Amino acid sequence: MNRPKLLAMQVGVGLAILLAWHVLTVYPLIGSTKNVQFFFSTPLEVLARVVKEFASVQPLGCLKSVTFTVPFLAKDPCGILYDLAITSIETVLAFAFGAFGGILFGFVFARGETLAAVFDPYIKAANALPRVVLAPIFALWFGLGIWSKVALGFTLVFFIVFFNVYQGVREVPQVVLANARMLGMNERQLLRHVYWPAALTWVFSSLHTSVGFALVGAVVGEYLGSSAGLGYKIQQAESVFDVTGVFAGMLILAVFVIVIDMLVSAIENRLLVWRPGPTTGAQS
């Protein structure tokens, strides 16, 4: 399927969902519209709230407030951009640290069978811990700043990347390894020319998934305790039963995740240019 056709179908699905949402909340099909809108708002009100949030930003004042500290924007003139910057920093740091740690330990454990066997029950136990339970502990350890949110996002990203890299390295065909060793490759050359290319597809598959989880960690941490960020904005809206504000925050989060995922896809296409395209079926 060509790119324009695929994009048109994706946009069509989104418009169909918005249309269904609009019809069910504006027309009395499932009850009183006032009651339905109290719980679900309307797409037009949500879009209007998003526009209002960004329109309230004072561009000149926001530019003057830019510093080289974290956060690098001032809240008053920058408005929603300040909260978006906070969540962006937390998400990017959690994603970067979690991905790096998962890739590193995934390779180490995949290449060390004894090490993997010894730590296997502990890794599974750590992965099974509910992350929400860890949020208050991280807040106690690291405070209510960005690092408690980064730590929570790290725990979500790390295990996704770790298990994918571990499986990718372990599934390298033994025939390929035997042929490479027969050609005289040492362990360093095997890592570069065999293990890493074999695991790269698994790595990017996990990165696509972990982008959303990095954002989840940041937003959940902000929701449970913070003074800024998109999670904080959503929590504030929920506290006063502002459903429109909640959906507006969720819409901004969705767009943010899509943008980050597009960046990951661009990097993936650049690094995996050698990868064959997907099979489209037998030709007649």
What pLDDT, in 10s, does the model give residues 160-170? 989 888 888 77
What pLDDT, on a 0 to 100 scale, did the predictor assign at position 100?
92
The 10s digit of each residue's pLDDT in 54-104 is: 888 877 777 777 776 666 776 777 888 888 888 888 898 999 999 999 988
| Residue 100, token pair as written in the block | 């790096």
Q: Tell the residue number behind the tokens 């790269």, with chain if given.
A: 200
For residues 57, 60, 61 and 65, what is the CA-based torsion angle, rounded to 10 degrees?
A: 110
**Residue 16 pLDDT:** 93
Q: Within 13 Å of residue 150, how many CA atoms lie on the same side as its CB?
A: 16
CA distance 134 to 173: 39
Total Cβ atoms within 10 A of residue 138: 23
* More confident position, 21 or 62: 21
**How far are the Cα atoms of 140, 141, 145, 252 from residue 151, in angstroms, in the given order?**
12, 10, 11, 23
Taking alpha carbons only, the member of 170, 166, 135 closest to residue 151 is 135
Query: Given pLDDT bands bounded at 50, 70 and 90, which one contains residue 278?
Result: low
User: CA 280, CA 233: separation in Å to the nearest integer?
Assistant: 44
Q: Burial code of 98-132, b = ≥16 C-beta within 10 A, e = fewer?
A: bbebbbebbbebbbeeeeeeeeeeebeeeeeeebe
- Please say whether the dihedral angle defined by the alpha carbons of residues 153, 156, 162 and 164, taken in this order, is positive or negative: negative
Residue 179 pLDDT > 80, yes or no? no
Q: Residue 102 has which token pair?
A: 């998962």
- pTM for this one? 0.80
Q: For residues 255 and 47, is the Cβ–Cβ distance under 8 A? A: no
Instruction: Provide the pLDDT confidence category of residue 273 given band limits of 50, 70 and 90.
Output: low
- pLDDT at residue 282 greater than cutoff 50: no
